A and B are shown apart, each in its own frame.
Chain A
């Protein structure tokens, strides 16, 4: 066969279609698992138990994006942003100039609530509060041109919503405008393990609305605690569903496949 007759390889999604544009995480191993990154505009639930590395992964996702020139935003719900900034100094991959240059923006939800006047004594948002909060998020993303957003945690926000219907509505509305802006988002979900079963969220609603679910947890191997990561779903991407081990290294998170026989005492996931 003549050389000119050989067709050039076409970049196709492994499923046969055309792949969606990806938001590259630049996290060692994660982009490989996700077949190039998170599809742009996806809203991803980053679910995990305490100490599983959710905040670190989310922060590295933002910092790497900021280093690549994107505008990134972190909304802290569970701890003051000043404390978060102090914690960031302990990461080798953090660069303080990103904050000064406005590439990495850190907001405190309590401050946003104060400004909107939605802080309730009983801790529950009304429908009007919910609208105001969604409007504030939209303004932040729109005005700053945010392309990567993290809300840490969505669980803490959901605790302030009156019922599951409101939670579903809130996340759906959030994902709608974020997707319109092409803002790739990670919602951190705090989960618990009950009877050796790990759920994706406390309320059981968030995972259904989210485009993607990344599950993080702990595995016990001969008494040692290992951090694990598994991509459960990611709309618009052909991804690995294997369980991986993650580790915090001097250059950031790194991911390697977990040994199959080394999972004694591991958690079963729903």
Chain B
């Protein structure tokens, strides 16, 4: 599935009233496609929260700035920069001390959600696989379940980004059960 097709499917999913979607992208183009997808949604005047577990948010900002899209209603929850000693002074970003502090993700999403100006909002969770490095499968499954349901209650369109080749059948099945739709199957 090309990034254009993925973006089209995501927009259709939003228009259908879905709230939670699993988006499966191949490892070859995962980073580039995820950033492009965020750019497409921002271009459609959605405000968003980008949760990054696999790359520092500063890198994602750099890549998004190249697309010339308006980033004024985009915020980050960054689980990487503090762990690796990266830049942690972006006022549009809340930094989580350690990727094991999964509850902090929910808490920081709640805090940032209040700052979003757009009525149509999204959370991009990049990626479920990034968290699996630090958390046991049962902890991760519980977290995804809590995350998914809390996003449903908040009625924020949420995308759980997963790397196709790195997602076990067990995790894929848990994500499928939780999501309204799986894009990129």
Contacts and interface: CB of A to CB of B under 8 A. Distances in A.
A256 interface: yes
A256 to B, nearest CB: 5
Interface stretch (A8-16, A123-131, A218-226): A218-226
Interface residues of A, number: 18
Interface string B136-156: 101100110010000000000
Contacts of B94: 249
Nearest to A263: B139
A221 B100 contact: yes
A185 to B, nearest CB: 28
B110 A254 contact: yes
Contacts, number: 52
Interface string A37-68: 00000000000000000000000000000000
B107 interface: yes
Contacts of A222: 98, 100, 134
A250 B135 CA distance: 27
B142 A247 contact: no
B103 A256 contact: yes
A258 B111 contact: no
Given A261-B138, A261-B142, A256 B106 contact: yes
Contacts of A247: 103-104, 107
Contacts of B139: 259, 261-262
A226 B100 CA distance: 10
Given A222-B134, A224-B100, A249 B143 contact: no
B174 interface: no
Given A222-B134, A262-B142, A256 B107 contact: yes
A226 B139 CA distance: 15
Contacts of B103: 226, 245, 247, 256-259, 262
Interface in A216-270: 221-222, 224, 226, 245, 247, 249-251, 254, 256-262
B101 A221 contact: yes
A261 B103 CA distance: 12
Given A247-B107, A254-B107, A254-B110, A259 B143 contact: yes
Given A250-B111, A259-B139, 7 more contacts: A224-B100, A245-B107, A247-B103, A254-B111, A256-B107, A259-B143, A262-B139
8 contacts: A28-B110, A247-B103, A247-B104, A249-B94, A249-B107, A249-B111, A254-B111, A262-B143
Which 7 interchain pairs have the tightest Cβ spacing?
A: A245-B103, A224-B98, A261-B139, A256-B103, A222-B100, A256-B107, A261-B138
